[in-house]
Structure 1
Amino acid sequence: MHEFDTVVIGAGVAGLTAARLLAKSGQSVVVLEARDRIGGRVHTDRSGAHATDLGASWIHGITDSPVAEAAAAFGMQTIEFTVGGYQPNSRPIAYYSPNGTRLSDADAARFTDDIHTVDETLLETVAASAPDASYRDVTEAALVAQGWDEDRTQRVREYLEHRAEEQYGAWIEDLAAHGLDDDAIDGDEVVFPGGYDRLPAGLAEGLDIRLSHTVTRVQWSKGGVTVTAADDPTGERIVNAARAIVTVPVGVLRSDDFTFDPPLPEINAAALGRLTMNAFEKIFLRFETAFWDDDVYAIRQQGPDSRWWHSWYDLTPLHGTPTLLTFAAGPAAREIRDWPEDRVVESVLAQLRRLYGARVERPIRVDITAWQNDPFARGSYAYMTLGSTTADHDDLATPIEGVLHLAGEATWTDDPATVTAALLSGHRAACRVLGREIAVAEAWR
């Protein structure tokens, strides 16, 4: 006999959205969460004077965004900050040349015009490329087509490398060309000075959520599912349900610590095999005073010294405390994975000193994420490896015998690796379980 109509594995935004919609439709639902908190990769640190979003930070385009609608419904304050998609010039950006001097407005405009020129050809270049082409392959083809000199080409090449790393957390040669989005963002981007975690908190209200329950096995058949979870501190819990929605990250699904019995069908398993977790970490540096350029959203440097630390975002407007955010992505993130904090900070400050000299201060607080080392994430979000296509996202979410459903950011095609993708995938899973459509807004009404 089933204990529940549906068991949801994972209390991130995908799982909470699905569970809330099902519960509001009259189902008996339990959510099993391995962590001692809800939210998954939406995680706000409140140990300091200000809320710091260690996981998701942005809504990348608020026009017609269900996440923006949910945030408004939950009373979450937002601040416009439209550089999260690594746009070249959507807002004021201070660009620095390879020798560490700031580009004039005219030189910066010429550089960003070059980026737009290459971007205009990329979609056609991707369409004409081989199925197993990398993003490096297609960007190189687009650059060659311009006929520029080597220096001009190299500056744009660097930009494309940095954009790939910052958006996907992977080196450009490891990314599949087919299926990468066109970087279009609809409306302003916003961040949350009060913390993004208020979104999962709102979605979780009233739900039966069991924390510190690490699911290790999902046995399934047409008759239902049996889920085995390790309780904290000891023991096991067996949960029986008519069906399950699994929302754990790709890094966990691919590990030996999570088992489907029987294994996933070929369509789901093949898609999962072409997705992997990235290496992407945030570094927040708070200072006594702002020593950098006034009235800019971001600082970016060019040249060989930009290999790791190339972009800093001025988060001072969020709380009034001078703050820079930078990212370690791809090879940089893997390299610093086990570095002590002081070594990471010194590496970042060395590049800032190239631009600002002795004006650079020691930070008064540092926050460095470690999603690669998190056993319940194993990276920040998923990306498509060579040979992948956008169909892999949907294929991963293919319903299994009407009893097993996969959801989460990696299962949504239109805008994967985002909170929006997580939320909408949870909505889709709930609709499939119910066998009918239900408005996503029911999750926050």
Structure 2
Amino acid sequence: MEHFDTIVVGAGVAGLTAARLLARDGRRVAVLEARDRVGGRVWTDRTDGLVTDLGASWIHGVTDSPVAAAAAAFGMRTAEFTVGGYQPDSRPIAYHGPDGERLPDADAHRFAADIHDVDATLLDVVAASAPDASYRDVTEAALARQAWDAERVQRVREYLEHRSEEQYGAWIEDLAAHGLDDDSIDGDEVVFPEGYDRLPQQLAEGLDLRLEHVVSHVRWSADGVVVSTDRGSFAADTTVVTVPVGVLKSDDLVVEPPLPEPVAGALGRLEMNAFEKVFLRFPTRFWDDGVYAIRQQGPESRWWHSWYDLTSLHGTPTLLTFAAGPAARETRDWPEGLVVESVLAQLTRLYGDRVEQPTHVHRTDWQGDPFARGSYAYMTVGSSTADHDDLATPIGGVLHLAGEATWTDDPATVPAAMLSGHRAASNILGRDIPIDEVWSN
């Protein structure tokens, strides 16, 4: 049985960051990855000759972002595309009312102002909420303070439902009241026209990577760890496990002895979401000029409510929409053609016979991916923000968990993954490591 100083389970950004830092310190490190590629939930598709990021797409705020710094050091080209946490305004948005007609600018501005008013109220409501309050509970309390008519309340209520789904892939009643506490953006948001996967590829250079090694057991004790895979077992003094929450909670990966508190409790209060992307490329750009997003209100917006214009990234007319929360679950087993028909039916409400059939469609299925079981984790009702960091509590001096779900300040992001891998490496080495060692030569 091969023996290493550290075994890292998972070659996503968290695992690669930890492995890179430990290897730079002279440790003998092996990275075991179930897939045939690095990156995990950072995955870029180029099969149609264009770049499509099926997993992570954005850096949500480049100010003081380690990922932005790493991307710059690795020479990764970026393009500004600020979405601002499902923002109601500040970028050109074409709002369409329940009848499908585009709202006049004055009406759109009033609607955005209503959202800002509710958000201001929400700060106090969330702070005073009960431990078992849902995001629905606090948003309803904030709406009740506005003294608006039923129609006005309903339009904002829909928006808040959509925000819960689009930010965390969860229905508003399933998300904890504090589930959007981290919903803040510092600086421009950017995407990668040449693909986000350049980041994990650069991080992986020089590492001992064992691809297509599916880990089934992690046995830990004071003497070290034994990691079992479908290609044999490996021993190490320490291990960093970076698999998503969905895999960690499944029967496919057994940790023995079982995870202790507070790790086990934190894991039990986090869940993987249902959040899928649908990219549609068209022969021509039939939608509004001068907007970066299209949104519709009313009952028809229950599933398909927002489309983002990605045309500027590659010059090909492209819209991105999301199946999130209930929509992602209910359409999961639909054939692609039926999903496209459903999306186009809503676009036709807005643009009539101008709508064309797409030339290419990319549709993700992170829910069906056995090595992800969802796109990212969210806080269920009864959880607290501390659960993220508690999940990363070192175990027995030998077992460390890392990944986007284990970072409190900005969970569900690539920076969170990178920072958690950096923390795990620092804990193993017993000293603080400058974060820029992740990308420096």
Task: Provide TM-score, normalisation by structure 2.
Answer: 0.99
Question: Which of 353, 357, 364 is equivalent to 2:348?
Answer: 353
| Per-residue CA distance 1:81-113 (angstroms, 9 max, x = gap) | 111521111211100000011111111110000
**Match of residue 11 from structure 1:** 11
Secondary structure of the corresponding residue to residue 422 of structure 2 = helix
Distance 1:435 1:90 in 2: 45
Give the conservation status (yes or no) of the 8 Å contact 1:228–1:239.
yes
Number of residue pairs the alignment of both structures matches: 440
Instruction: Please give the alpha-carbon distance, in whole angstroms, between the structure 2 residues aligned to 1:179 and 1:282.
Output: 21
Deviating runs (4+, > 2 A) in structure 1? none
| Equivalent position SS for 2:59 | coil
What does the per-residue CA deviation read over 1:281-330, in whole Å, with 9 as the maximum and x for residues that have no partner? 00000001000000111000000000000000000000000000000000
Residue 178 of structure 1: CA displacement? 2.5
1:144 aligns with 2:144: yes
Matched, 1:324 2:319: yes
- Please list, as runs of the form range in 1=range in 2, the aligned pairs for 1:202-281 lying within 5 A after superposition: 202-231=202-231, 237-281=232-276
Correspondences of 1:124-163 after superposition (within 5 Å): 124-163=124-163
Aligned to 2:431: 436
Whole-Å Cα distance in 1 between the matches of residues 35 and 160 of structure 2?
36
Structure 1 CA distance for aligned equivalents of residues 338 and 179 of structure 2: 37
Match of 2:389 in 1: 394
TM-superposed CA distance for 1:179, in Å, is: 4.7
What's the CA shift for 1:440? 1.3
Q: How far 1:183 moved relative to its partner?
A: 2.1
| Pairs within 5 Å for 1:30-49 | 30-49=30-49
Q: Give the match for residue 165 of structure 1.
A: 165
Name the residue aligned to 1:115.
Answer: 115
Conserved? CA contact 1:287–1:322, under 8 Å: yes
Which one-letter code corresponds to 1:368 in the other structure? Answer: R
Does residue 311 of structure 1 match 2:306?
Answer: yes
Q: Is the 8 A contact 2:174 2:381 kept in 1?
A: yes
Contact residue 169 and residue 278 of structure 1 kept, 8 A = yes
The secondary structure found in structure 2 opposite 1:174 is: coil
Does the 8 Å CA contact 1:58/1:84 hold for their aligned counterparts?
no
- Contact 1:131–1:178 under 8 Å retained in 2: no
Separation (CA, whole Å) in 2 of partners of 1:412 and 1:179: 13
Equivalence for 1:293: 288
Query: What is the rounded CA distance, in whole Å, between the counterparts of 1:365 and 1:63 in structure 2?
Result: 35
Identical aligned residues as a percent:
76
The equivalent of 1:234 in structure 2 is none
Tell whether the 8 Å contact from 2:80 to 2:189 is kept in structure 1 after alignment: yes
Q: Counterpart of 1:101?
A: 101
User: What SS does the aligned partner of 2:117 have?
Assistant: helix
One-letter amino acid of the counterpart of residue 312, structure 1: W
CA drift of 1:49 comes to 1.8
1:283 aligns with 2:287: no
What is the CA–CA distance in structure 1 between the aligned matches of 2:84 and 2:367, rounded to whole Å?
21
**CA shift digits 1:179-200 (9 cap, x unpaired):** 5325210001011110000000
**Distance change in 2, residues 1:33/1:185 (3 Å):** same
TM, length-normalised to structure 1: 0.98
| SS of aligned partner of 2:410 | coil
Contact 1:286 1:364 in 2 (8 A): yes
| Contact map agreement 2:182 2:410 (CA 8 A) in 1 | no
Note if contact 2:179-2:378 (Cα within 8 Å) is conserved in structure 1: no
Tell me if 1:58 matches 2:53: no
Q: CA deviation at 1:278?
A: 0.4
Distance, in Å, in 2 between the alignment partners of 1:300 and 1:441 is: 40
SS class of match (2:102): coil
Are the structure 2 counterparts of residues 182 and 270 from structure 1 closer, same or farther at C-alpha, using a change threshold of 3 Å? closer
* 2:295 and 2:305 in contact (8 A); partners too: yes
Aligned to 1:374: 369
State how far apart, in whole Å, the 2-side matches of 1:323 and 1:299 are. Answer: 12
Question: Quick one: distance in 2 between partners of 1:297 and 1:78?
Answer: 17
- Summarize deviations over 1:37-71 as a string: whole Å, max 9, x none: 10000000011121100000000000111110011
CA deviation profile, 1:181-225 (whole Å, cap 9, x unmatched): 252100010111100000000100000010000000000001100
| Letter of the 1:383 counterpart | Y
| RMSD, aligned CA | 0.9
